[in-house]
Chain A
Amino acid sequence: MIVVKAFGHVKEVLGSELLVNRELIDVKSLRDYLGNEYPTIVWSTVAIAVNKKYVQDPDPISPGDEIALIPPVSGG
């Protein structure tokens, strides 16, 4: 079980925390899962953070990691 935090417009579709009940080994596998489950979101514009750092598709995901979906930021 992996807990994924969501923000901005992504949160309005997924809720603030999404529980993913399957094994994900890397960021790419998370992206594939999200793309299948929530096809209305343009995932190519959404960055992913693991343990509060931006990551790329080949980066690994381990049990207990804090994962977050970061739509385009608009602070300031």
Chain B
Amino acid sequence: MVQLVEHIDLNEVYKLLADSKAGGTCVFVGTVRNHTPQREDAEVTDLRFEAYDEMALAEMEKIRQEAIEKWGLHQAVMIHAVGKKEVGEPVVAVGVASSHRKEAFPACQFLIDELKKSVPIWKKEFFTDSSHWVSPTP
């Protein structure tokens, strides 16, 4: 399951990962933080996310399938939020369900790392006094 949504419901993520074959479930949640290394003097008020929807979903599905094959996952989910997001809100949730924890951790990390590399989604940071498009971080 891959989705772009206005609001991420973490209970829903966990439900989507439910699988009776799974012995381990690993979920990563990214949230809006109130500071950024580029502006040590200013506080982030909110973020706005923009996506090239159709391609973002296609890229997410490609990454998801790669993870399922590589680690033999029972379930894998990638959900990203779009629109305005305030400090503390979840903006991305990725998760996997596998037979054992050993596969779950690296597979979950793979999903978020690859999402950050290639999925066409952009964030703009808003401060009390200005705004800017964020450059990618490793």
Would you list which residues of chain B between 12 and 49 have a CB under 8 Å from chain A?
A: 30, 49
Q: A5-B52, A7-B52 are in contact. Are A74 and B92 (CB under 8 A)?
A: no
Q: A8-B133, A54-B118 are in contact. Are A75 and B123 (CB under 8 A)?
A: yes
Q: Contact string, A32-76, partner B, CB cutoff 8 A, digits 1/0?
A: 000000000000000001001110000000000000101111111
> Hey, which chain A residues are within 8 Å of B51, CB to CB?
75
Of A52, A53, A71, A76, which is within 8 A of B91 by CB?
A76
- Are the C-beta atoms of B123 and A68 separated by less than 8 Å? no
Q: A8-B133, A9-B133 are in contact. Are A73 and B54 (CB under 8 A)?
A: no
- Are the C-beta atoms of B50 and A73 separated by less than 8 Å? no
- Are the C-beta atoms of A73 and B116 separated by less than 8 Å? yes
- Are the C-beta atoms of A73 and B30 separated by less than 8 Å? no
- Indicate if B112 sits at the interface (CB-CB under 8 A): yes
- Indicate if B135 sits at the interface (CB-CB under 8 A): yes
Q: How far is the CB of A42 from chain B (nearest CB, A)?
A: 11
Q: A74-B133, A75-B123, A76-B91 are in contact. Are A68 and B118 (CB under 8 A)?
A: no
Q: How far is the CB of A11 from chain B (nearest CB, A)?
A: 8
> Which chain A residues have a beta carbon within 8 Å of chain B's beta carbons?
5, 7-9, 49, 52-54, 68, 70-76
> Which chain B residues have a beta carbon within 8 Å of chain A's beta carbons?
30, 49-52, 54-56, 58, 80, 91-92, 112, 115-123, 133-137
The 8 A-B pairs with the shortest beta carbon distances in the complex, nearest first, are A75-B121, A8-B122, A52-B55, A74-B134, A76-B116, A9-B133, A72-B136, A74-B123
